[in-house]
Amino acid sequence: DYDAKRIERGYEMYRAVYGDDMPKPDPNSSLYVSQMMRHLFAETWGREALSVRDRRLIIMGVLAASGQADKVEIQFRRAQQLGELSLDELEEVVLQLAAYCGWGMVSPLSMLVPHMRAEAAAGGVSTAGAFAHASMNPSQKATIHEDS
């Protein structure tokens, strides 16, 4: 069945993008997940014109610009695990994001790569998600400042 094949292709691409560390979405759980596997992973990530690395760089920019530091961290870590981007290249990504998204918007990511370097020096001990609490959402920062 064509639909089942698309979902399987979606899972293959999902594993290529996120590995086995991320929970495997169940396409029967919701229409959203089903469409995500069919369209986002099988049909979009699975296209050959751009590499997974190139698509990941685009995603990093979009996530940083929309204030989603926790999701940028997922992309940084996976890019490093796969050898798509070195730690030096990831530091350059942070600088590029700061120039286009704003220094304040990207500041939660400024310590992510040094943290990843320290993990690597300690034998690869990962504290993935350590930066998930850091918000890059300016409206939340404004609220924090108003309350203090």
The full DSSP string for the chain is -HHHHHHHHHHHHHHHHH-SSSPPP-TTS-HHHHHIIIIIIIIIIT-SSS-HHHHHHHHHHHHHHTT-HHHHHHHHHHHHHTTSS-HHHHHHHHHHHHHHH-HHHHGGGTTHHHHHHHHHHTTS---TTTTTT----HHHHHHHHHH-
The pLDDT tens digits of the residues spanning 70-88 come to: 999 999 999 999 999 999 9
- pTM flag (> 0.75): yes
The pLDDT tens digits of the residues spanning 78-135 come to: 999 999 999 999 999 999 999 999 999 999 999 999 999 999 999 865 555 555 444 4
